Chains A and B, each alone.
Chain A
Amino acid sequence: MIGLWSLPLLFALPLALGILSLLAVPAWRPRLIFVGLPLMAAASLDMLAGLVISGPQVYRLGDWIAPLGINLVADGLAVGMILITTLVTGLCALYARVYLRDHPPSTSFFWPLLWFLWTGMNGIWLAEDIFNLYVGLEVMGLAAVGMVALRATPPALAAAMRYLLAALLGSLAYLLGVALLYGAYGTLSMAGLQEAAAANATTQVALALIIVGLLLKTALFPLHAWLPPAHGGALTPVSALLSALVIKASFYILLRIWLVLGPEVTPDFTAGLLGVLGAGAVFYGGWMAWRQHHLKQLVAYSTVAQIGYLFLFFPLVTNTGPEAARLAWDGTLMMLFSHALAKAALFLSAGNLILAVGSPQISHLIGISRFRPMSLFSFGLAGVSLMGLPPSGGFTGKWLLLHSALLSGQWWWLIVLFLGGLLSAAYIFKVFRMSFREGPQIDRSVTPPLTLDMIALLLAASAILIGLTAHVPLHWLRVGMVFGAV
Chain B
Amino acid sequence: MIRRVVFAGLLCLGVTAALGWAVLERPMPVENLPERVASAMPESGVEHPITAVLLNFRSYDTLLEIAVLLLAVVVALALREAQPDRPEQMGLDNPLLRAVMAWLLPLMLIVAGFLLWAGAYQPGGAFQAGSVLAAAGVLLRLAGVSAGWLDNAVLVRAGLALGLLTFLGIGMLVMLAGVPFLTYPAAHAGTLILVIELTLTLSIGLTLLSLFRLNPPYADDPDDSRTQEAPKP
Residues of A in contact with B (beta carbons under 8 Å apart): 4-5, 8, 12, 15-16, 18-19, 22-23, 59-64, 67-70, 103-107, 109, 112-113, 116, 119-120, 123, 131-132, 135-136, 138-139, 142-143, 145-146, 149-154, 157, 176, 180, 183-187, 192, 196, 198, 200-202, 204-206, 208, 235
Q: Which residues of A contact B21 (CB under 8 A)?
A: 201, 205
Check A153/B230 contact, CB under 8 A, given A146-B75, A186-B30: yes
Assess whether A142 is in contact with B71, with CB atoms less than 8 Å apart: yes
A153 to B228, CA, bound (A): 10
A205 to B154 alpha-carbon distance, docked (Å): 49
Interface centre among B19, B27, B70 (most CB of A within 10 A): B27
Inter-chain CA distance A294–B43, complex, in Å, is 60
Contact with A along B1-32 (1 / 0, CB 8 A): 00000000000000000110111011101111
Given that A8-B181, A15-B168 are known contacts, is A139 also in contact with B74, CB under 8 Å in the complex?
Answer: no
Other-chain contact of B180, A59, A120, A135, A187 (Cβ < 8 Å) = A59
Q: Looking at B77, B171, B182, B233, which has the most chain A CB atoms within 10 Å of its CB?
A: B233
Tell me how far the C-beta of B10 lies from the nearest C-beta in chain A, rounded to whole angstroms: 16
B26 and A184: CB pair below 8 A? yes
- Check: B40 CB closer than 8 A to any chain A CB: yes
Chain A residues whose C-beta falls within 8 Å of the C-beta of B141 in the assembled complex: none
Interface segment among B51-59, B90-98, B105-113: the answer is B51-59
Query: How many Å lie between the Cα of A5 and that of B176 in the bound state?
Result: 10
CB–CB A185/B74 < 8 A: no
Q: Known contacts A62-B59, A135-B65; decide if A22 and B74 are in contact (CB<8 Å).
A: yes
Fill in one digit per residue for B29-73: 1 if any A CB lies within 8 Å of its CB, else 0: 111110011001000000000000000111111011101101110
Partner of A152, one of B26, B59, B79: B79
Instruction: Check: B78 CB closer than 8 A to any chain A CB.
Output: yes
Which one of A62, A105, A112, A176 lies within 8 Å of B19 (CB-CB)?
A176
Chain B positions within 8 Å of A69 at CB level: 57-58
A106 close to B82 (CB less than 8 A): yes
| B182 lies within 8 A of A135 (CB) | no
Shortest A24–chain B CB gap in Å is: 10
Chain A positions within 8 Å of B63 at CB level: 15
Contact A104 B82 (CB under 8 A): yes
Looking at the assembled complex, report how far the CB atom of B37 sits from the nearest CB atom of chain A, in whole angstroms: 7
Is B165 at the interface (CB under 8 A from chain A)? Answer: yes
Q: Which of B70, B161, B165, B233 is the one whose CB lies under 8 Å from A151?
A: B233
**B161 in complex: contacting residue of A22, A132, A135, A187, CB < 8 Å:** A22
| CA A61 to CA B56, docked complex, whole Å | 10
Partner of A68, one of B18, B57, B183, B231: B57
The answer to whether B78 touches A146, judged by C-beta atoms less than 8 angstroms apart, is yes
Option from B23, B171, B184, B230 in Cβ contact (under 8 Å) with A154: B230
State the Cβ distance, A138 to closest chain B Cβ, in Å. 5
Q: Is the CB–CB distance between A109 and B31 below 8 Å?
A: no
User: Closest CB of chain A to B94's CB: distance in Å?
Assistant: 33
Please report the total number of B residues contacting A with Cβ < 8 Å.
60
Is A139 within 8 A of B180, CB to CB?
no
* A63 and B179 form a contact (CB under 8 A): yes
Quick one: closest A residue to B40, CB to CB? A68
Across the interface, which residues of B come within 8 angstroms of A119, CB to CB?
Answer: 64, 67
Which of B68, B179, B182, B233 contacts A139 (CB under 8 A)? B68
Residue B158 lies at the interface, judged by CB distance under 8 Å to chain A: yes
Contact B32 A62 (CB under 8 A): no
Cβ A106 vs Cβ B81 within 8 A: yes
Residue B126 lies at the interface, judged by CB distance under 8 Å to chain A: no
Q: Point out the residues of chain B lying under 8 angstroms from A131, CB to CB.
A: 61
Contact for A123 among B32, B64, B168, CB less than 8 A: B64
Q: How far is the CA of A69 from the CA of B81 in the complex (A)?
A: 40
Chain A residues, CB < 8 A from B29 = 183-187
Interface residues of B (CB under 8 A from A): 18-19, 21-23, 25-27, 29-33, 36-37, 40, 56-61, 63-65, 67-68, 70-72, 74-75, 77-79, 81-83, 154, 157-158, 160-161, 164-165, 168, 171-172, 175, 178-184, 230-233
Task: Kindly state the separation between the CA atoms of A287 and B173 in the bound complex, as whole angstroms.
Answer: 54
Q: A residues within 8 A CB of B64?
A: 119-120, 123, 132, 135-136, 138-139
A62 touching B18 in the complex, CB below 8 Å, given contacts A68-B57, A149-B79, A202-B27: no
* A109 & B56 in contact (Cβ 8 Å cutoff): no
Chain B residue with minimal CB distance to A195?
B30
Q: What residues of B have a CB within 8 angstroms of the CB of A135 in the complex?
A: 61, 64-65, 68
Q: Which of A59, A60, A70, A154 contacts B61 (CB 8 A)?
A: A70
A-B contact pairs, 7 of them (CB 8 A): A19-B168, A59-B181, A62-B181, A67-B36, A113-B78, A196-B30, A208-B18
The answer to whether B75 touches A104 (Cβ under 8 A) is: no
Give the complex CA separation of A142 and B64 in angstroms: 12
CB distance from B71 to the nearest CB of A (A): 5
Give the residues in chain A near B59, CB-CB below 8 Å.
61-62
Asked if residues B157 and A200 are in contact (CB atoms below 8 Å), the reply is no
Chain B residues within 8 Å of A106, by CB = 78-79, 81-82
Chain A hits for B58, CB < 8 A: 69-70
User: In whole Å, how far is A344's beta carbon from the nearest beta carbon of chain B?
Assistant: 21
Q: How far is the CB of A242 from chain B (nearest CB, A)?
A: 15
- Of all chain B residues, the one with the shortest Cβ separation from A61 is B60
Cβ distance A299 to chain B, nearest Cβ, rounded Å: 19
The answer to whether B30 and A185 touch across the interface, beta carbons within 8 angstroms, is yes
In the complex, which residue of chain B has the Cβ closest to the Cβ of A16?
B168
Q: Which residues of B contact A204 (CB under 8 A)?
A: 22
- CB pair A206 B22 closer than 8 Å: yes
B27 contact set on A, CB distance < 8 A: 184-185, 198, 200, 202
Cβ contact of B25, chosen from A12, A18, A202, cutoff 8 A: A202
Given A145-B75, A185-B31, check contact A62 B56 (CB 8 Å): yes
Closest to B59 in A: A62
Q: Which residues of A contact B57 (CB under 8 A)?
A: 62, 64, 68-69
Q: Cα distance A184–B158 when bound, in Å?
A: 43
Chain A CB count within 10 A is highest, among B19, B23, B57, B60, for: B60
A184 to B21, CA, bound (A): 13
Whole-angstrom distance between the alpha carbons of A201 and B79 in the complex?
A: 45
In the complex, A186→B171 CA distance in Å? Answer: 27
Among B72, B175, B179, B182, the most chain A Cβ lie within 10 Å of the Cβ of: B182
B79 CB to closest chain A CB, in angstroms? 6
Smallest beta-carbon distance B181→chain A, Å: 4
